[in-house]
Amino acid sequence: MIIDAENLIMGRMASFAAKKLMEGEEVIIINAEKAVITGKKEYIFRRYKQRIDRADLANPRKGPQFPRTPEGIVKRAVRGMVPFRKHKGREALKKLRVFRGAPEKYKKGEDVPCDNILERTSSYVKVGDISRFLGYEYEVVR
C-alpha cells in the first residue's frame, strides 16, 4: 500500500499505517515532509526542540535519540503506534518504508481514509518545517 502523506494529519495517517502493518501489509509512505501536525506553530516547535534537547548531559550520545529528518519523524510516529519491542511489532516495522519526496517508482499514492488538513483547520505545521527548525537541511527527492 502506498500512502501519499501530502496534507494528511500525521497522527491519523500513522495510526492507519500502523494498523495495516500489524495486519501484515507492506506500507510505503511518500512525501513525508508534506504531512502536517495540527496546532500552534510555536507550541509544536517548542515541543520538538525539548525532545531534541533531552540528551544526557554527562554523555549526549546516550539516548534518547530523536530523529530530525522528515522521514525519521514520520517513521517514529508510526513506531509509537506499534508494539515495537515485541517480535510481531519489529516484523511489522520492517515492512514500513518512508520517503522524502516521491520517488519515480512510487509516484501513484493511494487514497487513504484520513482527514485532509486543508478541510479542517488553519493552524498547522508541516513536518518539513519542523525538520528545518531542528537544523536538518534537505532537498526533495524527485
Q: In 3D, which of 106, 107, 100 has the Cα closest to residue 127?
A: 100
**What is the DSSP secondary-structure string of 20-75?**
HHHTT--EEEE-GGG-EEES-HHHHHHHHHHHHT-S-SS-TTSS-----SHHHHHH
Residue 138 lies in a domain: no
Q: How far apart are CA 21 and CA 138, in angstroms?
A: 28
Whole-number pLDDT of residue 80? 94
Cis peptide before 64 (omega within 30 of 0): yes
Residue 120 lies in a domain: yes
Residue 57 lies in a domain: yes
Please state, for a pLDDT cut of 70, what percent of the chain lies above it.
85
Residue 141 lies in a domain: no
Residue 47 lies in a domain: yes
Whole-number pLDDT of residue 114? 65
Residue-wise pLDDT tens digits, 73-117: 999 999 999 999 999 999 999 999 999 988 888 877 666 666 565
Q: How far apart are CA 76 and CA 82, in angstroms?
A: 10
Residue-wise pLDDT tens digits, 15-71: 999 999 999 999 999 999 999 998 899 999 999 888 888 776 777 777 778 888 999
Residue 50 lies in a domain: yes
Whole-number pLDDT of residue 115? 58
Return the H-helix or E-strand segment holding 19: helix 10-22
- For residues 27 and 41, the answer to whether their CB atoms sit within 8 Å is no
Total count of domains within the chain? 1
Q: Residue 73 maps to which CATH number? A: 3.90.1180.10
pTM of the full structure: 0.85
Beta strand pairing call for 2-4 and 27-30: parallel
Residue 65 lies in a domain: yes
Structural domain for 78, as ranges:
2-133
Cell numbers standing for residue 64? 534518547
